[in-house]
Chains A and B, each alone.
Chain A
Amino acid sequence: MVDWKPLKRWLFTTNHKDIGILYLLTSLYFFVTAGLFALTFRFQLAVPSNTFLQPDEYNQLVTTHGLLMLLWVITPLGAAFANYFVPIQIGARDMAFPRLNALSYWVYLASGMLALSSFFAGGGTADWGWTTYAPLNTVEFSPAVGGSMMGLALMLLMASSIVSTVNFLVTIFRLRAPGMSLVRLPLFTWGWIFTSLLMLWAFPAFVSALSLLVADRAFGTVFFTSTQGGPLLWDHMFWFFGHPEVYVLLLPGFAIVGDLFSTFSRRPLYAKKIIIACLAIASILSFTVWAHHMFMTGISQSLLEAFNVTTELISIPFAIIVIAYIFTLRGGSIRFTTPMLFAVGALGLFIIGGVTGVFNSSVALDTAFRGTFWVVGHFHYTIVGGGLTGLFGGLYYWFPKITGRMYSERLGKIHFAIYMVGFNLLYFPMHLLYDMPRRIFKYDASTGWGPINLLITIGGFTFGISQLIMFANLLWSARRGPAADKDPWGGYSLEWGIPSPPPEFNFPEGVPVISASGVTFRPSTPAMANGGQAMADGGHANGGHAYVSHEDEFGEEHWSHWPIVVAAGAGIALWGLLMGLPALFLGTGVLAAALVGWGRESLRGRSEVPVEATGEKWPFDRLENLSLGMWIFVFGEIAFFGTLFGAFVFLRMNSPLTGFVWPRPGEVHNIFWGGFNTIVLLTSGLTMVFALTFARRGSYRGLQASLVATFALGAFFMVNKAFEWNELFTNGFTFSTSSASSIYYVLSGVHGAHVVAGLTALVYLMVKALKAGSVKQASGAVEIFGIYWGMVDAVWVFLFPLLYLL
Chain B
Amino acid sequence: MPALAPSAEQWQSLFTLYIIAAVIVGGAVFVMFFFFLVRYRRKPGGTEPTDAPRVGVMADRGNPALAAILTALLVSLFFGLTLNTFALNAYLQNPPNDPNALYIDVIGFQWGWRFVYPNGHEAIDELRVPVINGTCTSSVRGCWSGTVILNITSADVFHSFGIAVFKIKRDAIPGRVNQAWFVADKVGIPDTIPEYREAVRCYELCGTGHALMFADLLVLTGDNFRGWYNGR
Contact = CB atoms under 8 A, between A and B. Distances in A.
Q: Do A and B come from one complex?
A: yes
A8 interface: no
A320 B71 contact: yes
Contact of B205 (A128, A296, A335, A487): A128
Interface in A231-278: 231-232, 262-263, 265-274, 278
Interface in B2-35: 11, 14-15, 18, 21-22, 25-26, 29-30, 32-33
A737 interface: no
B198 A332 contact: no
Interface in A579-601: none
A333 B164 contact: no
Interface in A297-317: 297-298, 301, 305, 308-309, 312-313, 315-316
A309 B86 CA distance: 10
A443 interface: yes
B49 interface: yes
A801 B186 CA distance: 60
B173 A492 contact: no
A352 interface: yes
Contacts, number: 277
Contact of B204 (A269, A322, A371, A443): A371
Given A296-B160, A331-B40, A367-B167, A439 B210 contact: yes
B173 A298 contact: yes
Given A274-B64, A446-B194, A363 B211 contact: no
A209 B68 CA distance: 39
Nearest to A367: B169
A323 B74 CA distance: 13
Most chain A CB within a 10 A radius of its CB, from B32, B46, B57, B203: B203
A334 B41 contact: yes
Interface string B190-232: 0000100110011111111111000000000000000000000
B54 A135 contact: no
Contact of B70 (A323, A362, A439): A323
A135 B158 contact: yes
Most chain B CB within a 10 A radius of its CB, from A227, A266, A316, A370: A266
Nearest to B168: A367
Contacts of A718: none
A437 B49 CA distance: 51
Interface string A124-156: 000111010111100001100000000000000
B55 A298 contact: no
B203 A55 contact: no
Nearest to A271: B62
Contacts of A308: 82, 85-86
A362 B81 contact: yes
29 contacts: A128-B205, A129-B205, A141-B156, A186-B58, A230-B175, A231-B175, A268-B59, A269-B62, A271-B66, A273-B62, A298-B177, A316-B70, A316-B71, A320-B70, A329-B40, A332-B49, A364-B11, A367-B11, A367-B169, A438-B203, A440-B211, A446-B194, A447-B198, A490-B53, A492-B53, A514-B56, A516-B57, A519-B55, A658-B175
Which 9 interchain pairs have the tightest Cβ spacing?
Answer: A271-B62, A371-B203, A519-B56, A298-B178, A492-B53, A440-B211, A364-B88, A435-B164, A497-B55
Interface of A: 55-56, 59, 62, 127-129, 131, 133-136, 141-142, 184, 186, 227, 230-232, 262-263, 265-274, 278, 296-298, 301, 305, 308-309, 312-313, 315-316, 319-320, 322-324, 326-327, 329-336, 344, 347-348, 351-352, 355-356, 358-359, 362-368, 370-372, 435, 437-444, 446-447, 487, 490-494, 496-497, 512, 514, 516-519, 658
Given A265-B40, A336-B42, 14 more contacts: A59-B208, A136-B157, A269-B62, A271-B64, A273-B60, A274-B62, A330-B40, A358-B21, A364-B88, A366-B169, A437-B202, A493-B55, A518-B56, A519-B57
Interface of B: 11, 14-15, 18, 21-22, 25-26, 29-30, 32-33, 36-37, 40-43, 46-49, 51-64, 66-67, 70-71, 74-75, 78, 81-82, 85-86, 88-89, 92-93, 110, 156-158, 160, 162, 164, 167-171, 173-179, 194, 197-198, 201-211
